[in-house]
Amino acid sequence: MLRREFRLLSRVVAHDLSERGVDNALVHHRHRLGTLFRRFYHNVFHTFGKRTALKLVGVRKSADSEDEDLDQTPDLPDSVWRTAAEAYTDKWTARKVTDVDATTKKNIRAYVGSGLSEGKSYSQVADDIFDEVGDQARADLIARTEVHSASQAASLAVARGSGLDLDHQWLATEDARTREDHADADGQTVPLDEPFEVGGDQLAFPGDPNAPATQACNCRCVEVYVTKEPE
Q: Write down the pLDDT at residue 231.
A: 63
Amino acid at position 155, single letter: S
Backbone angles phi, psi at 222, to 5 degrees: -135, 165
Query: pLDDT by residue (tens digit) across 105-137?
Result: 888 888 888 887 888 877 788 778 877 777 788
Residue pair 221/170 in contact by the 8 Å Cβ criterion? yes
For the cut 60, the answer to whether the pLDDT of residue 10 exceeds it is yes
| pLDDT attached to residue 77 | 47
Q: Please indicate whether residue 76 or residue 193 has the higher confidence score (pLDDT).
A: 193
Q: Does residue 219 carry a pLDDT above 90?
A: yes
Would you state the pLDDT for residue 69? Answer: 44
Tell me the pLDDT tens digit for each residue of 137-191.
Answer: 888 889 999 999 999 999 999 999 888 889 999 999 989 999 999 999 999 999 9
Task: Determine if residue 208 is left, alpha or beta; phi over 0 gives left, psi from -120 to 50 gives alpha, anything else beta.
Answer: beta
- The whole-number pLDDT of residue 68 equals 44
Residue-wise pLDDT tens digits, 36-82: 999 999 999 989 988 888 888 765 555 554 444 434 344 444 677 78
215-228 exposure pattern, b = at least 16 Cβ within 10 A, e = fewer: bbbebbbbbebeee
- pLDDT value for 129: 81
Q: What is the pLDDT of residue 192?
A: 94
List 196's β-bridge partners, or say none: 203
Q: Give the mean pLDDT of 17-30.
A: 88
Closest CA to 185 of 220, 209, 139, 153: 220
Residue 71, pLDDT score: 42
Beta carbons within 8 Å of 64's beta carbon, 6+ residues apart? 70
Provide the pLDDT for residue 117.
Answer: 84
The domain limits of the chain are 2-164, 165-231
Higher pLDDT: 16 or 211? It is 211
